Structure 1
Amino acid sequence: MYPPSIARDRPDALAYVMASSGRSLTYDQLDRRSNQLAHRWRQEGIRSGDTVVIAMENNIEWPVVVAAGMRSGLYVTPVNWHLKSDELASLIAESKPAVVVTSSALAATVSAALDAATHRAHRLSVDEHTDGFHHLGAEVAGLPETPIEDELLGARVLFSGGTTGRPKVFRQALLGIHPQDAPQRHGGLVEKLAIDSSAVMLSPAPNYHAAPFTFQLITLAAGGTIVCMEKFDADAALDAVRKYDVTHSQWVPTMLVRLLQTCGKERFSAPSHRVAVTSGAPCSADIKAEIDQWWGPILHEYYGASEGYGHTYISPLEARSHPGSVGRPLGSTSVHITDPDGVELGPKEIGTVWFAPNATQSYTNASDASDVSDASARKQMGDIGYLDDDGFLYLVGRAGFMIISGGVNIYPDEIEATLIAHPDVLDAAVIGVPHPEFGEQVKAIVELRAPAGSDAVVEADLIDYCRSKLAHYKAPKIVEFTERLPRLPTGKLDKRTLRDTFTRVDTLSIDIGGQP
């Protein structure tokens, strides 16, 4: 992502548009403003190899901050803006940013997180009059709009819970080269999706997610236009596709379900829309078939690890002949299926899914990524699946007890600890139960210290309590009460018994709205 390479020939070409407000940036504006911010960071003593954390909602300043980091050799690190201060503090402590960029809406949370992590960083807000933060616009006013002298290519950083749920920072390698010489990202995928300077990519998800972040980078590198939604809404997304003549779009399966549920299905027509891609979680064959019937054969699927271990791809026509598959590996990536002892399995034999990693990728806390049979060649994410005779991968479940809801990984231990801290709770367990839209939803099974006067009232209270302590997507959607939770002799929760006993979803569920 190097704006000058586009701005020289097409200065007025649109780089970024906010779908609702219509606020936009041309490539010339993106070039000049990102240069100014890079100059400001150098004045502040921020050098190549330092980290910028971005903790803010989708907005028009997002690409400016990313471009400034990518052209000044920084580790560009977007974080989930739904996190509470304590949760964010652990990410701050792990990434040790030299600068944090946020908005007025999130400034208090970011300040509390920085204080809790006892970490000092240059604090910038994209909004004016934000207590404790310098205004980004005022900070860069009057600074040069030309490149800094020591431009270097930055690198993307993402957080993954891995298999433990503990924040794990994954850094792509800093290559020590000029941004203009950056290698193409995901070249095989770019070719299959035909992303070029004519592409108009609708990005409806939060920018901190791996897939939106990646697709925005590769579209901007190609000289295309990003149409970024401030917040996902099914009808608004369909309207944006037509309003902005969107050619490409990127979704998670939950979004596709909501699109299918809208009245827009009957009236939607968008001749420009030629490529859609789903990623973030496996998309069911039924959903893909419905989209295929509605939009035609334009839905591609891209599956893999946020950490970049490896990826698979399946085209719309391949999805018709291999329903339920997430495709075959891209590029030099290879996929392997093994039994619990690490023995390679043959076609249609179910086992653990492993990817051969890219040698340019690395973990800072690599001990958490060491659960591999050949640590130098293979890594896994806890998925269970099989390969067919044609080498297409099919996923059948998860090896552990992590919950995947709407494409987001949720770890039960953190929620259980929060519930147990409630004065009325004696013991608690959290599991994932089936949900027709999100795939899974969070369910808590709770032992109370005293019998409840009204389970419905207590359920609502516990859900609200969790929402006050955790990001809302982690809070239980259902609470069921029991006299005693099953525990093993070691004192650990017997999760298998829990799932067998409590995965039914016919209990009362509080309506708390959509998931972020």
Structure 2
Amino acid sequence: MHPRHHALSDPQRPALILPERRQSVSYGQLESAANKGAHLLRGLGMARGDVIALLLDNEAAIFEAGWAAQRIGLYQTSISTKLSAADIAYILRDSGARILIASDRLADLAAQALAEAPDVRGYLVDHAQNGFESWRDAIATCPDHPVADESAGTDMLYSSGTTGRPKGVKPPLPEGPLDESTPLETMGARLYGMGPDSLYLSTSPLYHAAPLRWAMTVHRLGGTVIVMERFDAESALAMIERHRITHATWVPTHFVRLLKLPEEVRKRHDHGSLRAVIHAAAPCPVPVKQAMIDWWGPIIHEYYSGTECCGITALSAQEWLAKPGSVGKAVLGEVKIVGDNGALLGPGETGDVYFAGGPAFVYHNDPEKTAAAHDDRGWATLGDIGHVDEDGYLFLTDRRSFMIISGGVNIYPQEIENLLVTHPKVADAAVIGVPDEEMGERVVAIVQPQDAPWDSEALAQQLTRFTREALGGVKTPREFLFRADLPREPTGKLMKRLLVEEFGKSRHLLP
């Protein structure tokens, strides 16, 4: 389906509710704004296959502009609001974006990025200022009927890669009509019972792949999306009760924060309206998931995939109780476990996790990364290691690299290390992820100071400010540790495994 069908059949039905902004957008209003945006984009010369970038908070414009782009064959590139201006500019240039729409709150950040990407035309959502046009003013006089040459678009989202630079995950544009079903639409309806009566709570930033795609999937199915501006555990419980939420998506960190609420707070809010609770993005500790099932009942579903969406596995709470720790069986593509020599491995044997027969993708402007993610049979991998059991259930055991997953966000250490060694007081640096009860992993930097003696507290504060200014808050280490030297091989290769053993184990699950 497509949101237009619901706008025609029931235009007053809420498509979107933003409780903190006291705002509701009906399907009729969403359709009107999307059509107006489509006319504006066409008038600006945007053609099928072009890219529009969105630097937006969790607000209505991300759907209004997104649905405008995706009905005229454009790629929608949503950019994290936590990135530095340099990273944003890199994505704008690399993606080939011609237009950037930014939240008014982010005007200064957007201006800094556009200074490094001068060919991109900039809009702020509401108010024209500092050289930006107003998106709402620009579409106000545009027609609200469909453009003559509609075609389906999709997203091209950026995911951290093995070089430390974000990489654009670019699927082929859909060739079918606007209302052709997507894999998530089929999955949401079949596995989770999503439909026109769904009241879906979106708990995460909408610039991430899963939150954005699931919210737009709910629009395809005719449900109502209730958006949290930022996650707060008690506020989420209150929204579930107030809006009679039926479906919601989460990451394991959310579960941890919910479970850490005082018992009286957890009992204060009614969650009986929930039908399906879905989590992904990072491995969920078995005790955490068991506690959530004990609390909310056997409605906790899990799936495993990635921005690339080259395959998906999924399982229900009942299946997980029988196979604790599993991330499910394939529902899109076919799971293949591959050994170091490329041979297909059998049940119980650990190797690289590949998907065969899933949707195609490439890494934009990076044929080497694309090739590295595929084998000679065309199977694609997300870079994880695991095994399948005799019943075909997948278990993840490790990651191929030292990628850190903190709060459901992928963080690549090399980029942080490369920055830290440029600081005049740093001789060498390594960045690792250590276990954290709340975030899954937290980012820790182990630094060799340039000179001894050093004031650890003062240097840690300096490096925190230095990293935050350059890379943004998400990539800034939560802790800086110091030692006189770092273990390197004669070739210069950092033996990070030794650091993980030394600091990861000794600091296991510290608050």
TM-score scaled by length of structure 2: 0.95
Equivalent residue for 2:27?
27
Contact 1:303 1:326 in 2 (8 A): yes
Partner of 1:514: none
Tell me how far 1:287 sits from its aligned partner.
1.2
Counterpart position of 2:330: 329
Q: How far apart in 2 are the matches of 1:379 and 1:71?
A: 29
The one-letter amino acid of 1:73's match is G
Q: Which residue of 1 aligns with 2:383?
A: 382
Q: What residue in structure 1 maps to residue 282 of structure 2?
A: 281
Aligned residue in 2 for 1:194? 193
Q: Secondary structure at the match of 1:450?
A: coil
Matching residue of 2:298: 297
Cross-structure match for 1:319? 320
Judge which range, 245-254 or 99-108, deviates more. 99-108
The Cα of 1:184 is off from its aligned counterpart by 5.8
Q: For each residue in 1:325-374, what CA deviation from the matched residue of structure 2 results, as whole angstroms up to 9, or x when unmatched? A: 0000004x111112211222221222211112525433332320322573
Whether contact under 8 Å (2:54, 2:102) holds in the other structure is yes
Q: Deviations over 1:149-195 (max 9, x none)?
A: 11111111111234333322112222344423455645134310111
Contact 2:184 2:214 in 1 (8 A): no
Q: Which residue of 1 aligns with 2:497?
A: 496
Q: 1:184 to 1:409 in 2, by over 3 A?
A: closer
Counterparts of 2:492 and 2:454, CA distance in 1: 29
**What letter corresponds to residue 472 of structure 2 in structure 1?**
A
Q: In structure 2, do the counterparts of structure 1 residues 250 and 367 end up closer, same or farther at CA, with 3 Å as the change threshold?
A: same
Q: Any idea what SS the aligned residue of 2:500 has?
A: helix
Change (3 A) 1:320 1:146: same
User: The residue matched to 2:474 in structure 1 has which SS?
Assistant: helix
1:253 aligns with 2:252: yes
- Please tell me whether residue 76 in structure 1 is matched to residue 76 in structure 2: yes
Sort the Cα spacing of 1:114 and 1:421 in 2 relative to 1 into closer, same or farther, 3 A. Answer: same
C-alpha distance 357-78 of structure 1, shift in aligned 2 (>3 A):
farther
Corresponding residue for residue 3 of structure 2: 3
2:156 aligned with 1:157, yes or no? yes
User: Which residue number in structure 2 is paired with residue 459 of structure 1?
Assistant: 460
CA drift of 1:376 comes to 4.0
**Match in the other structure for 1:340:** 340
* Structure-1 separation of matches of 2:156 and 2:256: 30
Q: Secondary structure at the match of 2:105?
A: coil
User: Structure 2: how far apart are the matches of 1:503 and 1:271?
Assistant: 40
Give matches, 1:400-479, under 5 Å.
Answer: 400-479=401-480
Q: Is the contact between residue 38 and residue 72 of structure 2 (CA under 8 Å) also seen in structure 1? A: yes
For 1:257 and 1:409, locate their aligned partners in 2 and report how far apart those are by CA, in whole Å: 18
Question: Counterpart of 2:210?
Answer: 211
Task: Give the letter for the 2:186 counterpart.
Answer: G
Q: Does the CA-based 8 Å contact 2:348-2:388 persist in structure 1?
A: yes
1:104-149 per-residue CA deviation (whole Å, 9 max, x = no partner) reads 2222222222322x44122111131432211111111122111111
What's the secondary structure of 1:29's corresponding residue? helix
Q: Which residue of 2 aligns with 1:125?
A: 124
Partner SS, residue 52 of structure 1: strand
Residues 405 and 441, structure 2, Cα contact 8 Å, conserved in 1: yes
* Map 1:141-152 → 2, pairs under 5 A: 141-152=140-151
Q: Distance in 2 between matches of 1:303 and 1:37?
A: 34
Moved more, 176-185 or 14-23: 176-185
Q: Given that residues 39 and 143 in structure 1 are in contact (C-alpha distance below 8 angstroms), is that contact kept between their aligned partners in structure 2?
A: yes
Tell me the secondary structure at the aligned position of residue 432 of structure 1: strand
CA RMSD of aligned residues (A): 2.0
Deviation at 1:251, TM superposition (A): 0.2
Q: How far apart in 1 are the matches of 2:361 and 2:88?
A: 24
Does structure 1 conserve the Cα–Cα contact (< 8 Å) formed by 2:163 and 2:414? no
Paired residues of 2:467 and 2:476 also in contact (CA < 8 A): yes
Work out the CA distance in 1 between the residues paired with 2:325 and 2:394.
9
Q: Mind listing any 5+ residue stretches in structure 2 that lack a counterpart?
A: none
User: Is the 1:3–1:28 Cα contact (8 Å) retained in structure 2?
Assistant: no
Tell me by how many angstroms 1:451 deviates: 2.4
Query: By how many angstroms is 1:90 displaced?
Result: 1.5
Shift of 1:422: 1.3
- Structure 2 residue 31 is the aligned partner of structure 1 residue 37: no
Contact persistence 1:38–1:71 (CA under 8 A): yes
Aligned AA (1:459): A
Q: Distance in 2 between matches of 1:144 and 1:224?
A: 26
Contact 1:189-1:330 within 8 A present in 2 as well: no
Correspondence for 2:273: 272
* Corresponding residue number in structure 2 for 1:52: 52
Aligned amino acid, residue 456 of structure 1: E
Give the whole-Å Cα distance in 1 for the aligned partners of 2:359 and 2:183: 16
5+ unaligned residues in a row in structure 1: which ranges?
A: 512-516
Aligned to 1:297, what secondary structure does the other structure show? coil
Look up the match of 2:167.
168
